[in-house]
Amino acid sequence: MIAIMCAMREELEPILEYLKLKETVEYANNKYYLAKFNNLDLVLAYSKIGKVNAALSAAILIEKFNAKKLLFSGVAGAIERDLKIGDLIIATKTCQHDIDLTVFGYEPGFIPESKVFFECDENLNHIAKKVAGKLGIKLKEGIIASGDQFIHSKEKKEWIAKTFGASAIEMEGGAVGCVCDNESVPFFMLRAISDAAEEGAGIDFDEFLEESSRVSAKFLIEMLKEI
């Protein structure tokens, strides 16, 4: 079983449009969609926004639906300058920029007995780069940082860039990375840029959420053909 996860309804709907739904399972106040694509058994869900919701859905996808791989599709704010709205980026690893135990001498993003960074699956990233090459689509890769805040300030964005070396910013990947790392499930995350995470990002986000979600969804479907 392969899990496809999003945070928002708008990110999942364009993916579902490509699929024949078999069944919908209501569980833990959420909906899990079962579908087939070519010969793949898929389970899909949007978690709702934020790290806690994302961790809950990721754990359910693995524990209850027996997902052996977890692919995330959605939108993100750009940190790297040459990432423009609509551009695609895959995560090499994810982290949580809003974890702060520095008063005890720990580095930003670190929780004792856990990790700052959670590695994404190299095989799935390799497939993504192959697909991008075949389709002639520009695909960046980099560290993607998560936190339970919508980032819309140049100062905060630059602190995250400096502290974590992040190329993009969102609100779920660090939590899903943590769950998949602890459950030993390969994790892949694809995001299309919806804004620049600076002043005014909220306006851009509202304007580009739908279109950027579609860009990410389309690429994810192309990837499923190669898995």
Ligand X SMILES: CCCCCCN(CO)Cc1c[nH]c2c(N)ncnc12
Applying CB under 6 A, the residues found at the interface with ligand X are 7, 49, 75-77, 150-151, 169-172, 194-195, 197, 201, 205
How near is the Cβ of 207 to ligand X at its closest, in Å?
12
Q: Which is nearer to ligand X, 35 or 195 (CB)?
A: 195
Please, which residue, 133 or 202, has the CB nearer to ligand X? 202
Angle at CA of residue 145, ends 217 and 149, nearest 5°: 90
Tell me which residue has its CB nearest to ligand X. 77
- 181 vs 6, 62, 95, 167, 185, CA distance in Å? 18, 12, 12, 21, 6
Active site residues: 11, 195
Q: How far is CA 177 from CA 23, 52, 69, 155, 158, in A?
A: 27, 12, 12, 26, 23
Nearest distance from residue 12's CB to ligand X, in Å?
A: 13
127 vs 173, beta carbon nearer ligand X: 173
- For 130, the token pair is 């192959």
- CB of 172 closer than 8 Å to CB of 70: no
Residue number with CB closer to ligand X (172 or 181): 172
Residue 137, C-beta contacts closer than 8 angstroms, at least 6 positions apart: 88, 131, 219
Pairing of strands 139-146, 88-96: parallel
- The minimum distance between CB 205 and ligand X, in angstroms, equals 5
Across 137-151, b (16+ Cβ under 10 Å) vs e yields: eebbbbbbbbbbeeb
CB of 75 to ligand X, least distance (A): 5
Q: How far apart are CA 92 and CA 98, in angstroms?
A: 19
